[in-house]
Amino acid sequence: MNLTLKIWRQGGKYKGEFVTYKLDNVNEHMSFLEMLDVLNEQLIAQREEPIAFEHDCREGICGTCSLVIDGRPHGPMKGTTTCQLHMRHYNDGDTIVIEPFRAKAFPVIRDLVVDRSAFDRIIQAGGYISVNTGQAQDANAIPIEKDQASRAFDAAACIGCGACVAACPNASAMLFTSAKVSHLALLPQGEVERRRRVLAMIAQMDKEGFGKCSNVTACEAECPKEISVSNIARMNREYLGASFAGETA
Amino acid sequence: MAAKSTASDSKLNASIPEGPVAEKWENYKGHVPLVSPNNKRRIDVIIIGSGLAGASAAASLGELGYNVKVFSFHDSPRRAHSIAAQGGINAAKNYQNDGDSVYRLFYDTIKGGDYRAREANVHRLAEVSTDIIDQCVAQGVPFAREYGGLLDNRSFGGTQVSRTFYARGQTGQQLLIGAYQALSRQIALGTVAMYNRHEMLDVVLVDGKCRGIIARNLVTGNLERHGAHAVVLCTGGYGNVFYLSTNAMMSNTTAAWRAHRRGAWFGNPCYTQIHPTCIPVSGDYQSKLTLMSESLRNDGRCWVPKSSADVKKHPAQIPEADRDYYLERRYPAFGNLVPRDIASRAAKTECDAGKGVGATGLAVYLDFADAIKRLGRNTVEERYGNLFEMYEKITGDNPYEVPMRIYPAVHYTMGGLWVDYELMTTIPGLYAAGEANFSDHGANRLGASALMQGLADGYFVLPYTIGSYLSNEIRTGPISVYTPEFDKAEKDVLDRIHHLIGVQGKQSVESFHRRLGKIMWDKCGMARNAAGLKQAIGEIRDLRHEFWNDVFVPGRRDEYNPELEKAWRVADFLELGQLMCEDALHRNESCGGHFREEYQTGDGEALRDDKDFMYVAAWEWRGDDARPELHKETLEYEEIQVTQRSYK
């Protein structure tokens, strides 16, 4: 298939603009990123600057790849990262618009690459259980109900890609933050630090410049791991409970 | 510390503690010199890489009170490729009461590695395996559980017990996030400084000791000097030398290779793991291969048509009687759960005999029809749902209805920097942990043992062993980076960057990488022979020459430039590839993942030569135009009786 690509370029000789590229003979079995690889090889052959985009595992688990494709983070397929999106979902003659994830808290580094280190700082604020190496008791000393463990896993499946922020009109990081709060709040091991954790993580989230949640739920719709917005509700409850308990971050 | 040399080469001392194998680690821990808390604050440790080994080591050393700096080329430590591990992590917990023990895990690992691993290290690995599970559960890693609330296990290849702990098909992700969170806590506490988007491009030696690194800030392109009393490489494996592999796109050998050029000897570089169950190659544009977890072989059955006339038929049209379940036929004791090297070679044998299926004829079926009939679709979905989904996304086929098509692909490298019992390389003060070292898996790694080794090294081995060296560094004081040695190392790095950009040739970095990968796969892949390896060495030498005369690296050095990063990495792969072929050529035997066609039994199994090759090959760099020098560490088996490996 032959495609027209409108791609955001920023940095180097580009001040920040869409540049249009034609790409012919795209194979339907290619992944979306392999399609961009082919375009970059062509640009390099013409001694042009290749397009910077981030990627690594190409198996949908590392959370490195991003891109807003035709207005949707990670493109049109439900529960799918950009690296797992394949060209068989496109047609000959299509025009595809490709942008970086856009949010104040995710500054653009170059072209389609943004800085998502704000997420790391939210985790550093409290997204962990404080247990030093060697302090643990026997693993089976803490039975955890299977469904409860499974709910914790569902929240822990977050890959930290930032699609939730890119999808949100307010660029809110509530889904990301609440997934970690939920993962740890649902487990008995997380109980001790439960109140302090939620307050500290939300304080950091606000400090990073992410917006507020206004229940649009686009985050859930675009999340490649289908993390549920029920985690946001849980985080709100945790936050209220911790606040009423007089806890401080 | 009383130490016994098992090396046949005087320069190689593995420093294995005295005593029976089962007591060595306890003895060692009881006698290893310690660094007191007030002195730890004055000791700087640099860790390269933030995967399972790096993140767990950094968190643990930070907790102990050392000043730690961690470098990662990713934008966040959570991106490291450990995250992609699917199936599970082994531990000798014996929660299933099925006869498991530390000894059995130790034995299975030595046997699985085809008697080419160091006994003392492997026993230690089996001992600490149980602590890892405790630690991870305490961190909140959501392992699979049974209805009673206790932990669930499954089986992996090469074992007859169920000792694998798992978190759906995302075990690596959950373990890495656990280690990442522990690391994040130390970053917040100020014991660890994190340098994201930084790539180590050289180690710096002062008076023969490793004293720091040169790193490139990948956003600005600036070169930075960082000094430390010890440096730990947790930089993973080098499977991407084959271009197509299941490794992440940025996984590379650069840190290990630069250290090798500075004096760290490389152990068993030819030991490569080809994983039997990967999604087959589908086109020339392909950038990587995707693994389908070994756990699938718990319930999936491998088969090909009995007759090559049937290979193009739809699998549903091939009746049971015309199918050959070749693993069950050849290896009745282990069936579909034979180790990876054996399963891979068996698939290749079938395809070479014209029984391969799919468009290219390079695939076999992995069929779940029986499992779905026996367990019901829901159970199969619960066990493997995310893997089935991933398969469908990539291939467009639904594995609940049509058998998966799979083929072996490069997955892991057992070889790596040679390390002693303390995980120190041949450069004093330079350590290697996780996949980056060579130590625990011999010539073939068993499934679910990579996660175990990465976390064992980082959480439970290195925090003890590094003190042995650092206890002698408490009077050293801070390491200055304003010395002639750092000047020289930085200049070397800068010169090489200028050289890469300066060629301004006609061919892309990618095209060289692809060509190298093809040479490696064809001649140093699943089956190797002397003639092919000799040819490969010549071809790689020529390709390297061509690279340095005709590569085109766009952009500048002082900016964000992924093509420049890739060019440096491919240049290093070109040197490593040649060493791998040298190693494969010199090892005139077959063992584990190293299969030399000249050395096989009548029924096509690997034929070892224990008399001449029961050693670790540790290669010393001798210069760009010189042949590498071979050193040998003889392997002595005191606990385990060495026999012909059999899974029949």
Put simply, whether B47 touches A (Cβ < 8 Å) is no
Chain A residues with CB inside 8 Å of B277's CB? none
Structural domain contains residue A30:
yes
Q: Distance between CA B196 and CA B58 in Å, rounded?
A: 14
pTM comes to: 0.97
Put simply, whether A160 touches B (Cβ < 8 Å) is yes
pLDDT of the residue at B8: 58
Q: Distance between CA B243 and CA B245 in Å, rounded?
A: 6
A173 and A217: one domain?
yes
pLDDT value at B289 more than 50: yes
Are B261 and B628 within 8 A, CB to CB?
A: no
**pLDDT band for position B108 (50/70/90)?**
very high
Detail the DSSP E strand segments found in chain A: 3-11, 14-23, 68-69, 72-73, 95-99, 108-110, 113-114
Please report the residues numbered 220 through 249 in chain B whose beta carbons come closer than 8 angstroms to any beta carbon of chain A. 248-249
- Mean pLDDT of the residues in chain A: 97
Interval A95-112: pLDDT, tens: 999 999 999 999 999 999
Chain B residues with CB inside 8 Å of A50's CB? 554, 562-563
Phi and psi for A34 in degrees, rounded to 5?
A: -65, -35
pLDDT value at B644 more than 50: yes
pLDDT of the residue at B256: 98
A85 and A197: one domain?
no
Q: SS3 string of B541-608?
A: HHHHHHHHHHEECCCCCCCCCHHHHHHHHHHHHHHHHHHHHHHHHHCCCCECCECECCCECCCCCECC
pLDDT value at B7 more than 60: no
pLDDT of the residue at B645: 86
Contacts of B611 (CB under 8 A, 6+ apart): none
A76 and A148: one domain?
no
**pLDDT band for position B132 (50/70/90)?**
very high
Other C-beta atoms within 10 Å of B492: how many? 16
C-alpha dist (Å) from residue B549 to A217, B502, B507, B553:
54, 10, 10, 12
**A44 to B508: CB separation less than 8 angstroms, yes or no:** yes
Mean pLDDT comparison of B165-169, B251-255, B392-396, highest-scoring range: B251-255
Span B131-160, mean pLDDT? 95
pLDDT value at A56 more than 60: yes
| Tokens representing residue B265 in the block | 């000897």
| Tokens representing residue B513 in the block | 């990488």
Structural domain contains residue A16:
yes
> What burial class does residue B39 get, using C-beta atoms within 10 Å of its C-beta: 0-12 exposed, 13-18 middle, 19+ buried?
middle
DSSP letter (8 states) at residue A108 = E
- Give the angle subtended at the CA of A39 by the CAs of A35 and A45, to the nearest 5°: 145
Structural domain contains residue A86:
yes
Are B591 and B613 within 8 A, CB to CB?
A: yes
User: What stretches of A19-93 show up as alpha helix (H) in DSSP?
Assistant: 32-45
Structural domain contains residue A55:
yes
Span B441-452, mean pLDDT? 96
Structural domain contains residue A184:
yes
Span B376-401, mean pLDDT? 91
Chain A residues with CB inside 8 Å of B174's CB? 153, 156
Span B302-316, mean pLDDT? 96
Strand, coil or helix: B324: strand
Q: SS3 string of B223-273?
A: EEEEECCEEEECCCCCHHHHCCCCCCCCCCCHHHHHHHHCCCCEECCCCEE
A17 and A126: one domain?
no
- Residue B67, strand partner residues: B44
**Which domain-ending residue is among A99, A133, A168?**
A99
- Give the angle subtended at the CA of B399 by the CAs of B398 and B401, to the nearest 5°: 75
Chain B residues with CB inside 8 Å of A131's CB? 135, 138-139, 182
Task: Indicate the residue of B78, B138, B285 with minimum beta-carbon distance to A38.
Answer: B285
pLDDT value at B384 more than 70: yes
Structural domain contains residue A109:
no
What Rg value do the Cα atoms of chain A yield, rounded?
20
Phi and psi for B195 in degrees, rounded to 5?
A: -115, 90
Span B239-263, mean pLDDT? 98
pLDDT of the residue at B3: 36
Amino acid letter for position B425:
T
Q: In CATH, what number is assigned to the domain containing residue A12?
A: 3.10.20.30
Q: Decide if B340 is catalytic.
A: yes
Q: In CATH, what number is assigned to the domain containing residue A176?
A: 1.10.1060.10
Span A224-248, mean pLDDT? 94
User: Among candidates B335, B299, B298, B333, which has minimal Cα distance to B163?
Assistant: B298
pLDDT of the residue at B1: 35
**pLDDT band for position A142 (50/70/90)?**
very high
Placement of tokens 């010395």 in the chain: B483
Are B268 and B443 within 8 A, CB to CB?
A: yes
Q: Distance between CA A2 and CA B561 in Å, rounded?
A: 28
A40 and A126: one domain?
no
Other C-beta atoms within 10 Å of B600: how many? 15
A197 and A230: one domain?
yes
Chain B residue with CA closest to A144: the answer is: B149
pLDDT value at B414 more than 50: yes
| Tokens representing residue B186 in the block | 């130390």
Interval B515-574: pLDDT, tens: 999 999 999 999 999 999 999 999 999 999 999 999 999 999 999 999 999 999 999 999
A122 and A238: one domain?
yes
The order of strands in the sheet holding B416-417 is B416-417, B266-267, B615-620, B629-634
Q: Distance between CA B33 and CA B22 in Å, rounded?
A: 21
CA B445 to chain A, closest CA, distance in angstroms equals 21
Q: Distance between CA B301 and CA B294 in Å, rounded?
A: 12
Amino acid letter for position B375:
L
A51 and A128: one domain?
no
A132 and A208: one domain?
yes
Structural domain contains residue A110:
no
pLDDT of the residue at A249: 67
Structural domain contains residue A107:
no
Span B625-640, mean pLDDT? 95
Interval B179-202: pLDDT, tens: 999 999 999 999 999 999 999 999
**pLDDT band for position B4 (50/70/90)?**
very low
Interval A178-200: pLDDT, tens: 999 999 999 999 999 999 999 99
Helix, strand, coil content of chain B in percent (nearest 5): 40, 15, 40
Strand, coil or helix: B84: helix
**Which domain-ending residue is among A99, A129, A161?**
A99
Q: Distance between CA B464 and CA B32 in Å, rounded?
A: 8
Instruction: Set out the domains of chain B in order of their start, with CATH numbers.
Output: 28-273+412-470 (3.50.50.60), 274-410 (3.90.700.10), 484-613 (1.20.58.100)
User: Among candidates B388, B435, B401, which has minimal Cα distance to B279?
Assistant: B388
| Tokens representing residue A242 in the block | 């911790």
Domain count, chain A: 2
pLDDT value at B55 more than 60: yes
DSSP letter (8 states) at residue A79 = T
CA B247 to chain A, closest CA, distance in angstroms equals 7
Other C-beta atoms within 10 Å of B81: how many? 27
pLDDT of the residue at B460: 98
Q: Which domain holds residue A70?
A: 3-99
pLDDT value at B386 more than 90: no
Contacts of A12 (CB under 8 A, 6+ apart): A49, A110, B555, B559
A77 and A135: one domain?
no
Please report the residues numbered 481 through 500 in chain B whose beta carbons come closer than 8 angstroms to any beta carbon of chain A. none
A198 and A121: one domain?
yes
C-alpha dist (Å) from residue A236 to A56, A174, A181, B297:
34, 10, 10, 43
pLDDT value at A24 more than 50: yes
pLDDT value at B5 more than 90: no
Contacts of A19 (CB under 8 A, 6+ apart): A6, A7, A9
Put simply, whether B148 touches A (Cβ < 8 Å) is yes
pLDDT of the residue at A247: 73
Q: Give me the interface pTM, i.e. the ipTM.
A: 0.98
Interval B507-532: pLDDT, tens: 999 999 999 999 999 999 999 999 99
Chain B residues with CB inside 8 Å of A179's CB? none
A132 and A218: one domain?
yes
- Mean pLDDT of the residues in chain B: 95
pLDDT of the residue at A248: 73
Probe site for chain A from B181, B278, B388 (most A CB atoms < 10 A): B181
**B139 to A61: CB separation less than 8 angstroms, yes or no:** no
pLDDT of the residue at B6: 43
- Give the angle subtended at the CA of A56 by the CAs of B216 and B462, to the nearest 5°: 65
User: Residues B340, B345, B405, B645: which is the catalytic one?
Assistant: B340
Contacts of A101 (CB under 8 A, 6+ apart): A66, A67, A68, A73, A114, A116, A162, A163, A165, A166
